[in-house]
Structure formats: structure tokens, C-alpha cells
Copies of this chain bind each other. A is one copy, B any other.
Amino acid sequence: MSGHSRHLPADERRAATVEAVVDLAAEQNPSDITTTAIAQRMGLTQGALFRHFPTKDAILQAVMSWVTERLMARVDKAAEGATSPLAALEAIFKTHIDFVAEHTGVPRMLFGELQRPGETLPKQMVQTLTRQYGERLRRLLEAGKARSELHSELDVDAAVVLFIGTIQGLVMQSLLAGDVARIRRDAPAVFAIYLRGITHTR
């Protein structure tokens, strides 16, 4: 092949589309991303997108699928190496923060999808993702209680909600400051408070 092949195979275009959406979501309100903006970012005309996806929702669906795979794979890998439930929780948190710092638009997209009325497919995928994620956390928290790493009266469901809220709070803080780097910088101190809230009395 000699140089610029304008035509790419379908699966590569689909992957590039997802990437374009994730990138755009970092720069603007995710719910304001238009098919024109996506195509422009990819160097295509708007109509070309609909060769690979039947609807815009199908694009969002592909993005959610991408997020679920990548995030869960990284989280699972991080938890694997840990020697205790508590260490696993901390590793997951760090991994999640890294993921969010790399793709600032993603948590905002998820939150945005959840706000849509009705039962759209992308929304259902977010619900599935958080259910899976919450289940992982719940197991670790239960295990931590069994080992007395966590305090005995800990409400596990509440701890799951606060774990996610911790990240959500950091995202909001970075929006307020207009500074994405804040997420990584402030994460340790915020997690320290969370940890103190769930661990066994010292």
C-alpha cells in the first residue's frame, strides 16, 4: 500500500469513532456532542458515520461497551495483585482515578446517560456497568469485614455508594477548578478520609 488509504475497514472506523467520542467528551458537555463534531474529529463527513452505525445511540452504545471493557479489565487486574481486601480496594481506587484522569469525559458521560428519561440501551449499559462494579466492591468490603480489616458495624451498601461518590466529588471539583490534573493530585487525601471511615478502629 502506497501512502494515504482514505478508506479504512469497518471495525477500525468503529474503534476510531469511539475514541473520537471519548476525546470530545473530555472537552465539552458530553450530551452536546453532535455527529458532525465526531465526523469532523475523524476527518470524515457527517453522513459517513451512518455507514458504520445505524443511529447516534448505537455510537454511544459502542462507547459504553468500550468503557465497560477497559475499566473493568483494569480494575480486575489491579485487584488481582493485592494481598488483602483493603489493599485491593485501594488498588481499585487508584486505577479508577487513573482511568478517569486519562478520560475525563467518561464519568460525565455515564452520569449524563443516567439522566436520560426512558430505558435507552446506552443507559441500561451504564446501569449494568455500575451493578457489576458495585458487586466487586461489595465482595471486597464483605471480605474486609470478615478479616476485621474493616469495622464490624460498617454498612457495606453505604460504603459502595461513598466509594463512587468519592470519585464523583473529585470530578466535580476538577470541573469547578477547570483543572483536570486536580483529580490525581487531590485523590490520595480524599481517599485517606474514606479509608479512615471504613477501617477497623485504630
The answer to whether A194 and B192 have CB atoms under 8 Å apart is no
Chain B nearest CB from A51 CB (Å) reads 28
Contact residues, A57-95 vs B (CB, 8 A): none
Q: Could you say which of B29, B175, B194 contacts A162, with CB atoms under 8 Å apart?
A: B194
Stretch at the interface among A1-9, A13-21, A163-171: A163-171
Judge whether A198 is part of the interface by a CB distance below 8 angstroms: yes
The answer to whether A172 and B31 have CB atoms under 8 Å apart is no
Chain B nearest CB from A16 CB (Å) reads 23
Query: How many copies of this chain does the complex contain?
Result: 2
Instruction: Answer whether A158 and B190 are a contact pair too, CB < 8 Å, given A165-B169, A176-B130.
Output: yes
Judge whether A39 is part of the interface by a CB distance below 8 angstroms: no
Contact with B along A126-152 (1 / 0, CB 8 A): 010010000000000000000000010
> A193's closest neighbor in chain B, by CB?
B197
Judge whether A30 is part of the interface by a CB distance below 8 angstroms: yes
> A168's closest neighbor in chain B, by CB?
B168
The answer to whether B169 and A169 have CB atoms under 8 Å apart is yes
Instruction: Answer whether A193 and B28 are a contact pair too, CB < 8 Å, given A168-B169, A176-B114.
Output: no
Chain B nearest CB from A122 CB (Å) reads 13
Chain B nearest CB from A142 CB (Å) reads 15
Instruction: Answer whether A117 and B28 are a contact pair too, CB < 8 Å, given A127-B176, A172-B168, A193-B162.
Output: yes
Besides A28-B115, A165-B170, 12 other A-B contacts (C-beta < 8 A): A29-B112, A114-B172, A151-B196, A155-B192, A157-B186, A161-B170, A162-B169, A165-B169, A193-B194, A195-B197, A197-B197, A201-B202
What are 26 contact pairs spanning A and B, CB under 8 A?
Answer: A29-B112, A29-B117, A30-B115, A31-B31, A108-B115, A111-B172, A115-B175, A127-B176, A130-B176, A155-B190, A157-B189, A158-B190, A161-B169, A161-B190, A162-B166, A162-B190, A163-B169, A164-B172, A168-B172, A193-B194, A193-B197, A193-B198, A196-B196, A196-B198, A197-B197, A201-B202
